[in-house]
Amino acid sequence: MLDHIVRDIKEKGWSFRENILTPHDMSVISDFFYSHRNEFEAARIGKGQSRQRNENIRGDYTFWIDPLNPPAPFSKIMDTLEKLKLELNRDIFLGAREYECHLAYYPPGTYYQKHVDRFENDSSRVLSFVFYLHETWNEGDGGELILYGENEIRISPRPGSLVVFLSDDLPHEVKAATIERRSFTGWMHSKIIY
Ligand code: OGA
Ligand code: MN
């Protein structure tokens, strides 16, 4: 599985893999979402002093995860990411070091407009990753991730799947869904951030 992702990243800069998480993983994670519901905060855009809420740009709610001490339901995700990091550093000299990650839920009808994950004044994000965590998703429910590479790629956010892409210069967009769209989203950084 990981070698497929590494090969995809080398060839095209992104990868999408299904069934990374088991139904059991997913149900333990769903319980976590329900029990921490009130601790999610309206996501903001920008960095530092200029951070602000703008629902026209993004409408999700986030809960930050400490990557050095993840709650038990997310330890398998962190282990998978750590293995992926070692392979990417060895194979393509990605230079990834630390993680930044959060849970997110998008209420029905909310979206995240086309953007890039790197900040203008801070280029330390090298790899973006998203695990999809809603209980169900069917064709027609919306919530696709659109990657604007050489071609436009439409990723179906199937429960238990993982998408990763190089954070450098790949514009992407989250479409509105008719269901609550949930994810574990984050970035590998090339510098020490903690
Ligand atoms: C983000 C993002 C993609 C997704 O949070 O920066 O682009 O599919 N998320 O949730
Ligand atoms: Mn993004």
> What are 124-161's pLDDT values in tens digits?
899 999 999 999 999 999 999 999 998 999 999 999 99
- pTM for this predicted structure: 0.95
pLDDT value, residue 193: 67
Residue 194 lies in a domain: no
When pLDDT is cut at 50, 70 and 90, the band that residue 194 belongs to is low
Question: Is the model's pLDDT at 177 over the cut of 80?
Answer: yes
Percentage of the chain surpassing pLDDT 70?
98
* pLDDT exceeds cutoff 80 at 47: no
Whether residue 60 has its Cβ less than 6 Å from ligand 1: no
Residue nearest to atom 5 of ligand 1 (CA): 185
Q: Does residue 35 lie within any of the structural domains?
A: yes
Q: Which ligand is nearest to the CA of 45?
A: 1
Going from the Cα of 130 to the center of ligand 2, the distance in angstroms, rounded, reads 9
Q: Does residue 16 register a pLDDT over 70?
A: yes
Q: Is the pLDDT of residue 57 over 80?
A: yes
How high does pLDDT run on average in the chain? Answer: 94
The more confidently predicted of residues 165 and 118 is 165
Number of domains in the chain: 1
Q: What is the CA radius of gyration of the chain?
A: 16
Per-residue pLDDT, averaged over 31-57, amounts to 89
Listed in sequence order, the residues at least 6 apart from 160 whose beta carbon sits closer than 8 Å to its beta carbon are 18, 19, 20, 21, 22, 23, 25, 26, 131, 132
The number of the ligand nearest the C-alpha atom of 183 reads 1
pLDDT bracket for residue 1 (50, 70, 90): confident
CA 73 to chain CA mean position, Å = 16
Provide the pLDDT confidence category of residue 169 given band limits of 50, 70 and 90.
confident
- Measured N-to-C along each axis, helices 2-12 and 75-92 cross at an angle, to the nearest 10 degrees, of 50
Query: Whole domain around residue 68: which residue ranges?
Result: 2-45+53-189
* Candidate from 60, 130, 158 with most ligand 1 atoms within 8 A of CB, to mutate: 130
- Tell me the C-alpha distance between 163 and 35, whole Å: 26
155 alpha carbon – ligand 2 mean position (Å): 13
Ligand 1: atom nearest CA of 185 is: 5
Ligand 1 atom index nearest CA of 117: 6
Q: Looking at the domain assignment, is residue 179 inside a domain? A: yes
The predicted structure's pLDDT at residue 41: 96
**CATH number of the domain enclosing 136:** 2.60.120.620
Instruction: Specify if 95 maps to a domain.
Output: yes
Is the beta carbon of 43 within 6 A of some atom in ligand 1? no
Tell me if 134 is assigned to some domain: yes
Q: Residue 188 in contact with residue 130, Cβ under 8 Å?
A: no
CA–CA distance, 138 with 132 (Å, rounded to integer): 13
d(CA 157, CA 146): 10
Condensed to tens digits (0 to 9), the pLDDT of residues 63-85 reads 999 999 999 999 999 999 999 99
Asked if the structure places residue 70 within a domain, the reply is yes
